[in-house]
Chain A
Amino acid sequence: MSAVESPRKIEVFPVIGLEVHAQLLTRSKIFCGCPVTVGAPPNSATCPVCLGFPGTLPVLNREAVTLALRLALAAGATLHRESQFARKNYFYPDLPKGYQISQYDRPFSTGGSIAIDTPEGEKAIRLVRIHLEEDAGKLLHDTPYDDVPENVSLVDWNRAGVPLVEIVGEPDLRSAEEAASYLTELRRLVRYTGVCDGDMEKGSLRCDANVSVRTSPTAPLGTRVEIKNVNSIRFVAKAIEHEIERQAQSLARGEAIVQETRLWDEKGGRTVSMRSKEEAHDYRYFPEPDLGLLVLDEKWIAEARGALPELPRRRRERLATAHGLAPQDADTLVSARELADYYERVVAAGVPGRLAANWVTGEALRWMKERRVSTEQALSFSVSPERLAGLLKLVESGEISAASGKDVLVAMLDSSTEAAAIVAEKGLGRMRDTGALEAAVAEIVAGNPSQVALFKSGKTQTFGWFVGQVMKKTGGRADPAAVREALTRALESAGP
């Protein structure tokens, strides 16, 4: 539990709860057959249903429910056999029907939790509920079109009817850092489960934060302020940080906190008031009469459960214990499902865990970043897990040095040649030709009479210098043991 010091020396204890909207990765919208699109021309992915034409009716997309179920199961939530859609009524030009179809007092899922890491250890952030709803369209105030006057706003309804889940968290978070951890964990979970792409900048994951402060960790909850639509995890943390400070200063001045909705102003680095409680909408929720109850049967739940992958925290635990990885490496690997998959495929191809982890978290992540290759693409990239494994086996057996391995990897990025072939072609492999080794040794011994003399006079530490010279001569490819053996023999038989 962290306390924040305000300039006026009032110690406050923040209480934070997040409401997260995640856009589901379905092919079509939640209540009609229109495709879910990214970057399509405005209003090209619309139909009478998602435009709210009079006479149209919603028909629930089964795939949206299946994805929502998967997320709820991943969060350990309680699924309700019967749930109900409700209408949330308000006027806005991006809302075609004048109401949003959502779930209200009977959501399909309640409870569950998201575990986060804190300095004090793991902490479970409880969920109030997860529910399904439809997205609204988008308003364009600064239109990009020359023939549209400046004071005109345009509406793009491509997003109207895109399926969302809203994940409502309990006010269990106690700092901006915890809020950021929670969001990071939640984003990883939606990505792992394939429920949402988790892209906050594009708005497929959106976060509203409820923030209140109190003067003692056991005092009743303070008046909460809602901060809306912040589009990155970093900004969410900054906005919360700022809001805590603002509230602390208000309290220090003896002012009451006003229940209101505030917007994060990134340029100003502050939150600004959007509307007060008095101006809040009365949404007049009531059960959606156009849709029957949403009834979940065993089969449907089993189908969703069957599609659940190993969840990130469990996977991290397994990699740390069964593979003996450092906690930091395990954490990096599970940051994206495909990265961990990549790693596990390298291991499956016969590379020891730690070696694989070193290379995947180091070299592989580096080229993925440099070449803008997503973790997903990496699985089928020129350096596939299996090809990397081929290289790492050479390093592990001592066939090539780690340094050579890195050069080979660079060469592999732009070719389809196997690691072993590149090693052979570049002559990087271990020297197996004893004749060549003997020749190199003989050459070094013959070419350095003064060093030989020093050695013969008893300065045996010069032996190391000879080894170095031979290794240099052979390009590091010679087996150090064989070098020692050959050198010992050559020096003994060398002239006085």
Chain B
Amino acid sequence: MSAVPGVIETAAAVSSGRRTAVAEVEAALARIAEGDGRFGAFLEVTGDLALEEARAVDARVAAGERLPLAGVAVAMKDNMWVAGRRTTCASRILEGFQPPGDSTVAARLRRAGAVFVGRANMDEFAMGSSTENSASHVTRNPWDVSRVPGGSSGGSAAAVAAGFVAGAFGSDTGGSIRQPAACCGVVGFKPTYGRVSRYGLVAFASSLDQIGPLTRSVGDAARLYRVVAGFDPLDSTTVDRETGDPEGALGRGVAGMRIGFLEEAEGEGLDPEVAANLEAARRIFRDAGAEVTRVSVPRTTVAIAIYYVVASAEASSNLARFDGVRYGPRASDADLRALYVESRTRGFGPEVKRRILLGTFALASGYYEAYYGRAMRVRHLLSDDFDRAFARTDAIVCPSIPAPAFRVGEKTDDPLTMYLSDVFTVPASLAGLPAISVPSGLTASGLPLGIQVLGPRFGEETVFAAARALEAAADFPDAIPAVAG
């Protein structure tokens, strides 16, 4: 894995002419062809298109263009439009769906010289924490193929962990970037809500969805984030605000930074290995000169409950458009009702159906106040809790995952336990905060763990600075023994 160059390294090599984009992309395609049979990170590898795009990048570099991602091969989660490819959300209901063009994120990556090598596997419509809900296949964790890679951006995380690509993009609604990143021992970053355009991202829960990078290093994540961030007239929820200099912030260090460890994340129920790993992180920050404290954000304890009401409610509405009328397979033409019922019954998998039902119920007349209305009120209170916490601290730290990656099939019959995989990632989603998961150590059985750093809204620079400090001192291997072996 260490042999495979990172994002910044690749861009520098291609920009300077030491390497070509075509060579980089060919190498990535070769790694995927050789290794992905074991993991199933990709739904589709678009080699011909990628090589064609790589040639275009080489021509631009030769013409003197300075491209921050020159020749960088990236994997895109299958819920983002990339021109020329299908976008299926790993769902039967979007079988064959060809988007009208690039998503804003893909367009910005393309402009920066990145090349799209394939569509990464995911839980159907980004609903899940294991990538087992893909209508296509289960993706395996490169650290241990008997285990899940996490989810829903499990394909993206596995592709980076396996060393196929230096960078991938995922979407994070309640932890779908950070949780698989932690499970696969890579960096996963979710920006502040509104930083990155959602245009061309198939919506799961509109008020929560945010696109972000998965990489092997914090620096690479900062580079990818900087390229895709910024106001987009096509997405009214993006903010018109300077992105800042996340890469420049990397070297700032944490001396004097107030870092609060989240009280609610610690306690008796915490997995001992996760607790030990958190202790190590505390030492790292202290040794690096941070002012380490404990900070309470009381309503994080009810975040999962709020999340499953709000996210499911929005999903039930967002997924109404998949009706078999305009695109996707139409299962019946008998009459209108059959068209809807049959197309949706056959098109959606069980977890998606579960969330649609949950969300429909939460919004139903007579239940709205008790569920959606109440969840939204508590969501605001949770945001207020965070505001108060950030008045006393610059960054908040907690584990990314409550336990290392579980075994394939272990939780498929127990959705509630599965939902708890996101217990540490959901709070930042609900409050719209930037949060990053950094690989922080291995369990005794050799599985990765991750530590999460949360910042205040638009506090990306702080998050990257703290994450870099943690990364620099964390005891984490450069390569996956099995993959490297």
Contacts and interface: CB of A to CB of B under 8 A. Distances in A.
B18 interface: no
Interface string B343-374: 00000000000000000100111001000100
A290 B234 contact: no
Contact of B317 (A53, A55, A57, A98): A98
A54 B87 contact: yes
Interface in B62-79: none
Contacts of B340: 91
Interface residues of B, number: 43
A284 B200 contact: no
Contact of A96 (B89, B202, B321, B364): B321
Best-buried of A89, A97, A290, A291 by chain B (most CB within 10 Å)? A290
A97 B316 CA distance: 11
A284 B236 contact: no
Contact of A59 (B99, B207, B233): B233
A35 interface: no
B237 interface: yes
Contact of A56 (B199, B314, B363): B199
A97 B319 CA distance: 8
Interface string A289-314: 11110000000000000000000000
A99 interface: yes
B317 A284 contact: yes
Contacts of A155: 325
A284 to B, nearest CB: 4
Contacts of B235: 57, 59
Nearest to A292: B236
B199 A284 contact: no
A155 B339 CA distance: 15
A155 B205 CA distance: 28
A214 to B, nearest CB: 27
Interface string B85-102: 001010000100101100
Nearest to A99: B317
B28 to A, nearest CB: 25
A23 to B, nearest CB: 23
Contacts of B207: 289
Contacts of A60: 236
A398 interface: no
Interface string B9-33: 0000000000000000000000000
Interface string B299-330: 00000000000000110110111110111000
B257 interface: no
B364 A55 contact: no
A54 B100 contact: no
Contacts of A91: 320, 323, 340
Contact of A282 (B233, B313, B365): B365
Contacts of B214: none
B320 A53 contact: no
A59 B231 CA distance: 13
A333 to B, nearest CB: 44
B296 interface: no
Interface string B188-216: 00000000001111110111000000000
B212 to A, nearest CB: 17
Contact of A89 (B233, B317, B322): B317
A58 interface: yes
A89 B100 contact: no
Contacts of A290: 203, 206, 236-237
A129 to B, nearest CB: 19
A96 B327 CA distance: 11
Nearest to B201: A55
B323 A284 contact: no
Given A54-B203, A55-B199, A286-B372, A291 B236 contact: yes
A48 interface: yes
B239 to A, nearest CB: 10
A292 to B, nearest CB: 6
A466 to B, nearest CB: 86
A51 B323 CA distance: 13
A283 B320 CA distance: 12
Contacts of A59: 233-236
Interface in B444-477: none
Contacts of A98: 317, 319-321, 323
Contacts of A285: 363, 368
Contacts of B145: none
Residues of A contacting B: mostly? loop
Contacts of A53: 99-100, 326-327
B363 A52 contact: no
B406 interface: no
B87 A57 contact: no
A54 B97 contact: yes
B383 to A, nearest CB: 15
A447 B425 CA distance: 117
Given A89-B317, A97-B321, A98-B320, A55 B326 contact: no
Contacts of B364: 282, 284
B336 interface: yes
A93 interface: yes
B179 interface: no
Interface string B221-240: 00000000000011111000
A22 B336 CA distance: 29
Contacts of A58: 236
A57 B321 contact: no
B325 A93 contact: yes
Interface in A241-260: none
A54 B202 CA distance: 5
A266 B18 CA distance: 79
B317 A286 contact: yes
A93 B336 contact: yes
B274 to A, nearest CB: 33
A59 B336 CA distance: 30
A87 B199 CA distance: 19
Contacts of A291: 236-237
Interface string A444-471: 0000000000000000000000000000
Contacts of A93: 323, 325, 336
B285 interface: no
Nearest to B322: A54
B42 interface: no
B336 A52 contact: no
Contact of B199 (A52, A57, A286): A57
B329 to A, nearest CB: 14
Contacts of B81: 55
A119 B459 CA distance: 67
A54 B94 contact: yes
A283 B363 CA distance: 9
Contacts of A55: 80-81, 87, 99, 103, 199-203
A275 B182 CA distance: 53
A97 B318 CA distance: 8
Contacts of B336: 93
A119 B183 CA distance: 78
Contacts of A97: 320-321
Interface in A424-480: none
A289 B236 contact: no
Nearest to B327: A53
A286 B97 contact: no
B283 to A, nearest CB: 41
Contacts of B326: 51-53, 96
5 contacts: A55-B87, A55-B201, A98-B321, A285-B368, A291-B237
Closest CB pairs A-B (n = 6):
A98-B320, A284-B363, A289-B207, A289-B206, A54-B202, A55-B200
Interface of B: 80-81, 87, 89, 94, 97, 99-100, 103, 198-203, 205-207, 233-237, 313-314, 316-317, 319-323, 325-327, 336, 340, 360, 363-365, 368, 372
Given A53-B326, A87-B317, A289-B205, 11 more contacts: A53-B99, A55-B200, A57-B235, A59-B236, A93-B336, A97-B320, A98-B317, A98-B323, A283-B365, A284-B360, A289-B314
